[in-house]
Structure 1
Amino acid sequence: MSNFAERASEITQRALIGIAMSLASEVGIFQVLANADSPLTSYQVAMVGGLKERYVRELLGCLSTAKLVQVSKAEDEELQYSLEEGAKEVLDGRLAAFLGFPSLLASTFHSVKDCFYKDGPMSVRYTDQVQDILDGISRSSAPGIAQIFLEQISNLKTKLEEGIDVIEFGSGKGRLCATLAQQFPNSRFVASEVVPDLVQANKDRWEHIPNLTFSLDDLCRVPEVPDKNYDWVFCCDVIHDLPDPVAALQGIKRMLRQPNGLLTFVDIATSGSPLVDRGNMNVSTFYALGTFLCIPESYQRSDSLALGPCSGRQMIASLAQRAGFQVEVIKIEDLTALFICQLPKQS
């Protein structure tokens, strides 16, 4: 068998199992097993989860042969299922949200396929399911990102304690902005989104936080004279999703309060080259997410830059420099970086 055939077969198998895993997460099978004090039969899993046993049994067959679920025989020879030690903690963490990506990509397959053709639509915008998955990731990552900001950005904590004006663009369901607002009650925070329903949902969800307000903004169309200026602007995994990131960065620059206004953002930071990253399955995963999510979200016009998540840290930094910022890039994870963008020093 050729190397291509071997790799194609292996990846196809993993893709099919990934969709099955995603289904098990969404219908609650993993949670039923995680909550159980002892191994359960497929009938017991179905009863606890309110599911049909025959479907549960087939899916558990997939998960157990893939070694995602433990399988053994009871005294009556009936198969019973459980999770390995430590799996519950994993499912309570960041990974749980990632399990939804296979089903998400499957649900968008035909819409994205249509975008490939010259006479097809330009884009497929983020759905509620995307926002739910991103919020699930944020549930576990928001405290860590907030801490990275405070540790890596000089004097930020002191300024927030004293009281400054802050806005987050592309706030999603607002969890990170809410985390910081609750931590620093003397500062004034704005959670901004481009989707009206999301802005309203955030108002309903976080209205109990007195120093957090909400705004509907198109970051790519910031007025030449903004209505308000901010001391700190931040965003996470937003720049590569914008149709015109340079215009957005220039707009942010106009919004910053002189002379010490600051923009910081977290984004994917690959090499930017499939040749350099060949064989790196983590990067390959980001390219897949880019194909089904990021490019369809950002390729809204024929002249959209549509960076995608794998455009590379140098490309992203250069765009911020083109917008007039002095840029420092700090690696915070293997494929993630913090971009600290300062206004140019006045001569």
Structure 2
Amino acid sequence: MSNFLERVNEVTQGTLVGVAMTLAREVGIFEILAKTDYPLTSNQVAVAGGLKERYVRELLGCLSTAKLVQISETENGDFQYSLEDGTEEALNGRPGAFLGFCSVMASVFDSVKDCIYKDGPISLRYTDQLQEVLDRKSRINAPGIAKIFLEQIPDLKTKLEEGIDVIEFGSGKGRLCATLAQQFPNSRFVASEAVPDLVQANKDRWAHIPNLTFSLDDLCGIPEVPDKYYDWVFCCDVIHDLPDPVAALQGIKRMLRQPNGLLTFIDVSTSGSPLVDRGDMTVASYYALGTFFCIPESYQRHDSLALGPCSGRQRIASLAQKAGFQVYDSISENKNPSQSIQVSMDVDVSQTSPLSMILDLE
């Protein structure tokens, strides 16, 4: 068999099992197995979850064959299923969060396919289902990202403790902004989004946090003279989703309170070249996510830049420079491109509009 056919089989089989694994997780099969200290039959799992046994049996057959679930046989010939140590931790961490994208990709498959054709629509905005998956991911990542900000940005913690004005653009369901607002009650936080329903939902969700307010903004259309200025602006996985990232960065620059206002953003870090990244399935996964979510979201106009998540750290840095920021590149100690912090970029301290870029390949 040729290498191509071997890879096709490997990727196709992995995709099929991955979708089955996503379904099993969403109907609670993994949670049921994790809560027991002894193996369960498919019927016991079905009863515990209010599920149809025949479907449960088929899913467990898939997962046990793929060695994702442990399987044993009783003296009566019944199969019993259990999880190996560490499975629950993995599913509640970053790998589990990414599983949620499978079902969303399936739900928008036909819509994205229509976008690809020359005579089809050019964009597809983020769906409520995707926002739920992103919030699930944020629930896992928010504490770590907050810690990264405080460790990577000089004097930020002191300033937040004393009290400054902060805004997060593209806040999604607001979890990261809420995390920081609760940690630093003397500072004033704004969670900004471009979707009216999302802004209203965040107002209802986080109403108990007194120093957190909410704003509806078009990041690519910041006024020449902003209504308000901020000491710190931040966003996560947003820049590559914008139709005009340079205009957005220029707009943010106008919003920074001089002379010490700071912009920080986190984005995905790749080489920017599928040739260089060839064989890295993490990067390949980001190209897939880009196809289904990031390109459709950012391709809002025919002249949209539509960066995608794999445009590369150098290109993102060059866009920041084009927007008026002077950036220097400081590689962190962790140089494994598939692990968290790879690159931290900060503006020359002599400049009046500092920029901190933390590019993160998750």
TM normalised by structure 2 equals 0.93
Contact 1:94–1:139 (CA under 8 A) maintained in structure 2: no
- The alpha-carbon distance between structure 1 residues 22 and 243, as it changes in their structure 2 partners (threshold 3 A), is same
Shift of 1:97: 1.8
Match of 2:357 in 1: none
* Secondary structure at the counterpart of residue 351 of structure 2: coil
CA distance, structure 1, for counterparts of residue 74 and residue 51 of structure 2: 22
* Secondary structure at the counterpart of residue 99 of structure 1: helix
Match of 2:168 in 1: 168
Aligned residue runs from structure 1 range 197-236, under 5 A:
197-236=197-236
- The alpha-carbon distance between structure 1 residues 18 and 157, as it changes in their structure 2 partners (threshold 3 A), is same
Contact 1:42–1:81 (CA under 8 A) maintained in structure 2: yes
1:298 aligns with 2:307: no
Match of 1:345 in 2: 351
Shift of 1:129: 1.3
Match of 2:179 in 1: 179
Match of 1:40 in 2: 40
Match of 1:189 in 2: 189
* Secondary structure at the counterpart of residue 100 of structure 1: helix
1:144 aligns with 2:144: yes
CA distance, structure 2, for counterparts of residue 329 and residue 164 of structure 1: 27
Match of 2:308 in 1: 308
Contact 1:326–1:344 (CA under 8 A) maintained in structure 2: no
Match of 1:128 in 2: 128
- The alpha-carbon distance between structure 1 residues 21 and 79, as it changes in their structure 2 partners (threshold 3 A), is same
Match of 2:241 in 1: 241
CA distance, structure 2, for counterparts of residue 331 and residue 132 of structure 1: 33
Shift of 1:35: 1.0
CA distance, structure 2, for counterparts of residue 195 and residue 331 of structure 1: 35
Could you list the runs of 5+ residues in structure 2 that have no partner in the other structure?
353-362
Stretch moving more, 140-149 or 89-98: 89-98
Shift of 1:37: 2.1
The code of the aligned residue for 2:135 comes to D
Aligned residue runs from structure 1 range 48-67, under 5 A:
48-67=48-67
CA distance, structure 1, for counterparts of residue 45 and residue 168 of structure 2: 42
Q: Which runs of 4+ in 1 moved over 6 A?
A: none
Contact 1:262–1:343 (CA under 8 A) maintained in structure 2: no
Shift of 1:238: 0.3
* Secondary structure at the counterpart of residue 11 of structure 1: helix
Contact 1:97–1:137 (CA under 8 A) maintained in structure 2: yes
CA distance, structure 1, for counterparts of residue 213 and residue 76 of structure 2: 60
Match of 2:324 in 1: 324
CA distance, structure 1, for counterparts of residue 115 and residue 24 of structure 2: 30
Contact 1:123–1:297 (CA under 8 A) maintained in structure 2: yes
* Secondary structure at the counterpart of residue 254 of structure 2: helix
Match of 2:93 in 1: 93
Shift of 1:218: 0.6
The code of the aligned residue for 1:151 comes to E
Contact 1:233–1:262 (CA under 8 A) maintained in structure 2: yes
Contact 1:233–1:252 (CA under 8 A) maintained in structure 2: yes
- The alpha-carbon distance between structure 1 residues 298 and 55, as it changes in their structure 2 partners (threshold 3 A), is same
- The alpha-carbon distance between structure 1 residues 19 and 166, as it changes in their structure 2 partners (threshold 3 A), is same
Provide the aligned length of Structure 1 versus Structure 2: 346
CA distance, structure 1, for counterparts of residue 349 and residue 162 of structure 2: 21
CA distance, structure 2, for counterparts of residue 238 and residue 311 of structure 1: 13
Contact 1:25–1:100 (CA under 8 A) maintained in structure 2: no
Shift of 1:87: 1.0
CA distance, structure 1, for counterparts of residue 220 and residue 350 of structure 2: 21
Contact 1:72–1:80 (CA under 8 A) maintained in structure 2: yes
The share of aligned pairs that are identical, in percent, is 75
CA distance, structure 2, for counterparts of residue 196 and residue 234 of structure 1: 20
Aligned residue runs from structure 1 range 105-124, under 5 A:
105-124=105-124
CA distance, structure 1, for counterparts of residue 99 and residue 320 of structure 2: 33
* Secondary structure at the counterpart of residue 208 of structure 1: coil
CA distance, structure 2, for counterparts of residue 298 and residue 168 of structure 1: 19
Contact 1:244–1:304 (CA under 8 A) maintained in structure 2: yes
Shift of 1:339: 4.4
CA distance, structure 2, for counterparts of residue 94 and residue 60 of structure 1: 23
* Secondary structure at the counterpart of residue 80 of structure 1: strand
CA distance, structure 2, for counterparts of residue 320 and residue 286 of structure 1: 22
CA distance, structure 2, for counterparts of residue 7 and residue 97 of structure 1: 25
Shift of 1:201: 0.9
* Secondary structure at the counterpart of residue 102 of structure 1: helix
Shift of 1:75: 2.7
CA distance, structure 1, for counterparts of residue 93 and residue 132 of structure 2: 15
- The alpha-carbon distance between structure 1 residues 245 and 192, as it changes in their structure 2 partners (threshold 3 A), is same
Shift of 1:330: 5.0
